Amino acid sequence: MTSKQRQNWIIAVPVIALLLWSVIYPNVAVIVGSFENGLGYWREFIASPADREALRTSLVISVASVFASLAIGVPLAFLLGRFEFPGRRLLRAVATLPAALPPLVGVIAFLFLYGESGVVTRAIQRAFGMAEAPWRLQGVGAIVFVHAYTMYVYVFLFVSAGLERFDATLDEAASGLGASNLQRLRRVTLPLLMPAVAGSALLVFMNALGSFSAPYVFGGGLRVLSTQILASKTNGAMGLAYVETTVLALSAVAGLALFRWLERKRKYTLSSKGGRVRKTIRSRKIQILTTIFAAVVVVALVLPHLMVVLVSFARDGSWTTQVLPPEYTLENYRRLFSESELWRPIYNSVSMALIATAANLVVCFVAAYLIVFRRFSGRGLLELLVALPWAIPATAIALGLAATFNRNDPATARVLLVGTFWILPLAYFIRDIPLVASAVESSLRQMDASLEDAARGLGASWLMTMRRVIIPAARPGLVAGGLLAAVTAVGEFVASVVLYTHSNRPISMEILAQLRALAFGTAAAYSVLLIGLVLMMTLMARSFEERLA
């Protein structure tokens, strides 16, 4: 037993040390930095009207995003989970599409569609003969609009899963006891779905709080915490940036703690026997209305993707005041692969993503193996370390790295990475730890723990057990987690915008630069490349997950 404990620690110590160094240390450095001047920076933060406004706006946007996401996600989950109507399968297929948009790409698609010179805006303006655009895509409303589109997916997925596990006999029992439709919904269905609703609402809140892309692009003069951090850093007010980051990170971690607590508090599990039969809508009129509604939702969900694809064929500079771009060409794509300045970001993103993902696979495999199969006192710490980067907003992670790895100092375990190629792979690695670790964990949890015992009992060495038993069992998770991590890293924007340099600029920064140069076609072509990668890798990952199940 003691030798096994020793072995646990020999494997665990390097991994825990690496995670402490990359995940915890930068954040601690930020917190320490915020007190560099005693309470000075904190006083400055509290006194600053800009920061107070940012904090308030962040909270308002987050709460509004939660309600908007619930308003879309819950009814959609009920409609798709409980009713049968023409077009249901198509709607189900595209319902999670917004999750496949890299953050910056979603924002750009909205700009092309609903921006001042966007297609929808112009079409309405023309149709009604208005002199000005009917709205401006700016401020809190615009940000919440984008958030609702991308984040309702959490609510939808959680509530759908809740409905799927919902035991149909409970409903039957309630109606057998004489409860009406409304009574059943109020007294049985909704209370049992509350954990799913609450959990997803909290997820949306945390995501909206840390969201960067939408406020950055649509904020106008609006301040939120995440953009304020970048502004302070750009202005050289690092002390203030540390305080802002601390506030943002701590509220997000508090959110994670609350989320975990909610999950644990769920006392009953819903178990279902077989599939529930969906009700076919009988009334012809309601059926038609439902189908029209479904069609509208499908179009609204697919439109951003289509728009990006369309614009990617638009000749740069040709689209000015027309509703749709007037000239189309394949030139944008050809240039991406032939002009070295445009090819460079693709090369950068792919190579940095591959490096980060390779590191993720090794570190997360060891961590997941220890978490699933080994009982030792460091396990709780390890679980916390791999989950934390999920809660900490990317802006906070990036600022931590900028504050920590800005000089060589072996005494404090600092290495100069800021301004080098390596800072972005490190940031991508940190951001993708939770994704890969949880994918590998879920693969390993499906493995019968006695397989490891069986292998050893048959005389296999530790290495042979790993190679022939554990790694094959982890493979579906490694593949699915690795693919998703790679694709997330290729499209990463939020940490990149804080840390990139000209020579290692990733695709997302180049999209932003092209957009500023009004080269919409080129920006869209990059975006389509990203969407294509996301879809391809997601499908591959899903097929591996299916093979796992």
User: Which positions touch other proteins (CB under 8 A)?
Assistant: 1, 3, 448, 450-451, 453-461, 464, 468-469, 472-473
Q: Which is nearer to other proteins, 321 or 450 (CB)?
A: 450
CA distance 528 to 63: 31
Instruction: Return the bridge partners of 5, or none.
Output: none
Q: Which is nearer to other proteins, 280 or 450 (CB)?
A: 450
Token pair, residue 241, equals 């940036």
CB of 15 to other proteins, least distance (A): 23
Q: Which is nearer to other proteins, 315 or 456 (CB)?
A: 456
CA distance 521 to 318: 9
- 62 burial (CB, 10 Å; 0-12 / 13-18 / 19+) is buried
CA distance 545 to 549: 6
CB of 547 to other proteins, least distance (A): 11
User: Which residue in the block uniquely carries the two structure tokens 């390596």?
Assistant: 422
Q: Which is nearer to other proteins, 32 or 464 (CB)?
A: 464
Side-chain-facing half-sphere of 2: CA atoms under 13 Å: 0
Residue in 417, 440, 415, 433 with CA at minimum distance from that of residue 356: 433
Cβ 142 vs Cβ 159: under 8 Å: no
CB of 549 to other proteins, least distance (A): 13
Q: Which is nearer to other proteins, 6 or 126 (CB)?
A: 6
Q: Which is nearer to other proteins, 384 or 469 (CB)?
A: 469
Is 280 strand, coil or helix? strand
CA distance 161 to 377: 34
H-helix or E-strand spanning residue 244: helix 238-265
CB of 12 to other proteins, least distance (A): 20
CA distance 368 to 437: 6
Q: Which is nearer to other proteins, 1 or 411 (CB)?
A: 1
User: Which residue in the block uniquely carries the two structure tokens 């990203």?
Assistant: 530
Q: Which is nearer to other proteins, 64 or 474 (CB)?
A: 474
Q: In whole angstroms, how far apart are CA 70 and each of 1, 141, 325? A: 51, 16, 35
CB of 141 to other proteins, least distance (A): 53
Q: Which is nearer to other proteins, 295 or 548 (CB)?
A: 548
CB of 527 to other proteins, least distance (A): 39
For the chain, the 3-state helix, strand and coil shares in percent, each to the nearest 5, are 75, 0, 20
CB of 403 to other proteins, least distance (A): 44
Cβ 405 vs Cβ 25: under 8 Å: no
Residue in 90, 82, 93 with CA at minimum distance from that of residue 166: 82
